[in-house]
Amino acid sequence: MDLYRYRISGALLLAASLLFFAATGAVAAIDGVTGTSFSFTAREGVIANPDGSVIPIWGYANGDQAVQYPGPTLIVNQGATVTVTLTNQLAEPVSILFPGQKVTATGGASGLLTREALPGGASQVTYTFTASHPGTFTYYSGSHSDLQVEMGLVGALIVRPAGYDPQNKATWTAYGDARSAYDTETLFLMTEMDPELHYRAGAGLPADTTGFFPTIWFYNGRAAPDTMAPAGAGWLPNQPYNCLPQAHPGERVLMRIIGGGRDSHPHHTHGNNFELIARDGRLLESAPGASALLVADAPVFGTVPDLAVSNFTQAVIPGATYDTIFTWTGQGLGWDPYGAIDSACTDADHDGKDDVHGRMCHDASCTDTNGDGFDDASKEYCADHGKPFPVRLPGQQDLTFGQFYSGGPFLGSAASLPPGQGGFNPAAGYFFMWHSHNEKELTNNDIFPGGMLTMFLVLPFGTDMP
Amino acid sequence: MAGASVFFQCPTLSNPGDPGSVIYNGTFADNVVVDGMIRADQGEILNPVSPRQVCVHLSSGDGFVNMADKQLDPDGNGMGHEQYMFGFKNITGIPDAEAMLAGMLAAEFPAPTLKFKEGDEVYLSLTNVGMMMRPDLFDPHTVHWHGFPNASAIFDGEPMSSVSINMGATLTYYYKVIEPGTFMYHCHVEATEHMQMGMLGNLYVTPAQDGTQKSFGGRTYSKFAYNDGDGSTGYHVDFPVQILGFDSNFHDQHIAVQPLPFAEMYDDYPMLNGRGYPDTVNPAPLPNSFDGRLSQPIPALITANQGERILLRLSSLSTVAFHSLTVQGIPMQVIGEGSRMRRSFYTTNTVTLGGGQSMEVLLDTQGVAPGTYFLYTTNLDHLVNRQEEYGGMMTEIVIQ
């Protein structure tokens, strides 16, 4: 095939990728509210979806800010005494349950599962708990739950382990030691909706949840492709969170997964297996500190707890939470995913860029001083370094191009695309779809594609992650 | 290349001493395709580029299959409800000039089983022959090797992040197979539609440890699910069993060129390996009622001799739901999932798989009386072929 490959200068590449991320709002950490004392208000609102539907919701708002779906992600520190004060502006009693926490509720009125805030905003409830255990948790309404959780009264709770410092990457772990260390983290709060229930409840009509039949599915309150739109996008005022995982080769990606609705969903990662390291905020370990290598014989990727389970699809059941570690290097492909060796390139400092010109390039070296099989800096798999691409690709007229395709098969170097094709991958990364594998759930009210779907991005080494 | 073309790639060396002398439409021995693949280690490739080279040619297109409701056949001909489908066909060994014709209306359900060995270097060519019964469609297709570890975007078959092949042309995927396990494959183009329409199949990889002798639990094995080191995953016979389903409304609307009912999708024909019970236990390939082609070639019948260990390679490519499977009378030992050996095994009577999940289960028939045992879903509403009861997602295990 007549692939005309070209290299983009490092500066242009960075500018292009910044443009891309300015348009998508990618971040390496999870958005949410931090602190110890929070004030929630349960209110009515609406969400907007890619199929054009506008669906009434009941949601938790952070103080007097916009009501949102899902509720504000609470990010607190291990050991903190957390208080959440709930005010109710809905027409029926509402509350919050925090599974896995020992909660004291005061104020409001007595309810079946916990104390409730009564309608009208007059009676507030205060929930207090000590965040004694790090991990991924959820919260949701304990009042009229079959309808209220469906309507949107659900959110995530993340407890940072003792010693966590957002400014110091060396302290980034989910559970306090190296077995749960990560470089980037993403939340996957998985929910579904039956819009008919929302239209009825939103209009003040009785809504019978026994006929529940969902037709739209969400990661973090958004259906695809909005999952990949900027966090805090102005056109989604009630859906502030996106879902855009990304990493460089060899980095550890922490997925915090929550079954937030009433259906189960198989969450599938293209690109590689992950390791399930924790369930409902508890590490999968046989004894405190027991560990195993994340990938057998490759200590470069670090460790996981010894009862971790490798898989490519995680069954996510209602109310449960899962923490997984994912890595990608392209190890063992049998060809060099970085393309042919560029004899005009000298990258002695192994930063993925030519030492003189600064352009992204792939030089002749793969430096593995610690003997783990990977380049010390880029985590390129050295055994495949310089191996040729094994097949001929068809001509462009025989192919249909995806919008996340860089034009060529190589990581970090784009190639020509027909006019109007591609365009969402200026950094020439590898995109992998992460999605529900009950494929019906990749639709938005009868429209494909959509639903529980997002794209994970492997950024080329040397490309900055905003 | 000018113009669309069929191009089955099986590269060979024009000069056996020169690794750089690769020609992509290589030569191979005629009429030696015994397992649906052309393998260098069986001497079927002349001057291969690798001693473990394997070449496969699949077509993608459309076709028809019949469901198992022979008694309450809504079509009235006793062959069961006819369903329009998309699917794959193995056309390995057919000359390029004849490949399009060989693939047209030849879709099979499930797709041809792909069985590789750890260490293989696979060249899988996919030729899109178009949808004969839907000439209004111009859909490209892909092969997605579901679960391939450390995949590249270009060979992942997910069309948003790579390329897909247009009608009349061929795209060749390359896989260096470095991990054993039970995977699966499917087309990923417009995934909800193409998967519901039937572009789904079994794919598994046997480990390098196969062929060695290992004793475990008083028996000696030479076949294993994984490179366990101790024979603990040893088995005598293995069977891939894939959970699948058809929503007859979706298929009927499709051939009628109507808008596709995604939101209403519900599989009223739950199946194992592309068949509902009792078709699952019929060892013969099944013809369709459209043109008589044998479009359902794979049974789901499981047979073993008493005392043997059976390896079930379970996977689900249901597009709709989770399913639990049970085996009556024989404990199920779960030894692997997600194409990785579990760090610890466990024994159970039910396993649950959502779409995209796989699991290896050992059934030990030592001490099990000869007879017929049942493997079926405990989602009991799926033991039907639409209106017809005593059917659906069930098959038999016959111990002799």
| Pick from A215, A292, A337: CB nearest B263 | A215
CATH value at residue B181:
2.60.40.420
Chain B residue closest in CA terms to A195: B263
pLDDT tens readout for residues B207-218: 999 999 999 999
Residues in contact with B98: Cβ distance below 8 Å, sequence separation at least 6, in sequence order: none
What is the end-to-end Cα distance of chain A in Å, rounded?
35
**Tokens coding B375:** 């493997």
C-alpha–C-alpha distance, residues B344 and B308, integer Å: 22
Predicted confidence band at A466 (pLDDT cuts at 50, 70, 90)? low
The secondary structure element, H or E, covering residue A11 is helix A10-24
pLDDT tens readout for residues B235-276: 999 999 999 999 999 999 999 999 999 999 999 999 999 999
Residue type, A193: M
Q: Residues 310 to 339 of A: which have CB under 8 A from any B CB?
A: 310-313, 315, 328-335, 337
pLDDT tens readout for residues A159-201: 999 999 999 999 999 999 999 999 999 999 999 999 999 999 9
A308: nearest Cα among A412, A175, A160, A427: A175
| Pick from A405, A443, A449: CB nearest B263 | A443
Say what the pLDDT of residue A121 is.
78
Interface test with B, best of A311, A335, A389, A416 (most B CBs within 10 A): A311
Chain B residue closest in CA terms to A449: B190
- Does any CB of chain B come closer than 8 Å to the CB of residue A268? yes
Mean pLDDT of A438-458: 97
C-alpha–C-alpha distance, residues B292 and A351, integer Å: 61
Residue B2 Cα, gap to closest chain A Cα (Å): 8
Q: Residues 203 to 222 of A: which have CB under 8 A from any B CB?
A: 215
Residue B315 Cα, gap to closest chain A Cα (Å): 11
Are A446 and B263 an interchain contact pair (Cβ–Cβ within 8 Å)?
yes
**Tokens coding A250:** 């060899």
Q: Are strands B237-246 and B309-316 parallel, antiparallel or unpaired?
A: parallel
Percent of chain B predicted with pLDDT > 70: 97
Q: Is A372 exposed, middle or buried (0-12, 13-18, 19+ CB in 10 A)?
A: middle
Q: Cβ contacts (< 8 Å) between B357 and chain A: which residues? A: 266, 311, 313, 315, 437
Q: Residues 148 to 187 of B: which have CB under 8 A from any A CB?
A: 149-156, 158-166, 168-174, 176, 178
Say what the pLDDT of residue A453 is.
98
Q: Is residue B3 part of a domain?
A: no
Predicted confidence band at A347 (pLDDT cuts at 50, 70, 90)? confident
Predicted confidence band at B4 (pLDDT cuts at 50, 70, 90)? low
Residues in contact with A210: Cβ distance below 8 Å, sequence separation at least 6, in sequence order: none
In chain A, where are the structural domains located? 33-326
Are A402 and B5 an interchain contact pair (Cβ–Cβ within 8 Å)?
no
CATH code that applies to domain A33-326:
2.60.40.420
Look at residue B28 and tell me whether its pLDDT is greater than 80: no
SS3 A169: helix
Say what the pLDDT of residue A21 is.
41
Q: B250 — phi, psi (to 5°)?
A: -60, -45
C-alpha–C-alpha distance, residues B152 and A331, integer Å: 10
Interface test with B, best of A194, A257, A313 (most B CBs within 10 A): A313
The residues pairing with A173 across neighbouring beta strands, listed in sequence order, are: A181
Q: Is residue B160 part of a domain?
A: yes
Mean pLDDT of B307-318: 98
SS3 B194: helix
Q: Are strands A135-140 and A154-160 parallel, antiparallel or unpaired?
A: antiparallel
Q: Is residue B382 part of a domain?
A: yes
Say what the pLDDT of residue A352 is.
79
Are A333 and B176 an interchain contact pair (Cβ–Cβ within 8 Å)?
yes
- Does any CB of chain B come closer than 8 Å to the CB of residue A137? no
Domain count, chain B: 1
Q: Is A162 exposed, middle or buried (0-12, 13-18, 19+ CB in 10 A)?
A: exposed
ipTM of the prediction: 0.96
Residue A401 Cα, gap to closest chain B Cα (Å): 5
Predicted confidence band at A351 (pLDDT cuts at 50, 70, 90)? confident
B148: nearest Cα among B172, B182, B171, B112: B182
Look at residue B29 and tell me whether its pLDDT is greater than 80: no
Residue B138 Cα, gap to closest chain A Cα (Å): 11
Mean pLDDT of A139-156: 98
C-alpha–C-alpha distance, residues A76 and A56, integer Å: 30
Residue A117 is given by DSSP the state B
Say what the pLDDT of residue A28 is.
65
* CB distance A182 to A169 below 8 Å: no
Say what the pLDDT of residue A299 is.
77
Look at residue B284 and tell me whether its pLDDT is greater than 80: yes
Q: Tell me the residue range of the domain where B392 lies.
A: 12-399
Please give the mean pLDDT across all residues of chain A. 92
- Does any CB of chain A come closer than 8 Å to the CB of residue B318? yes
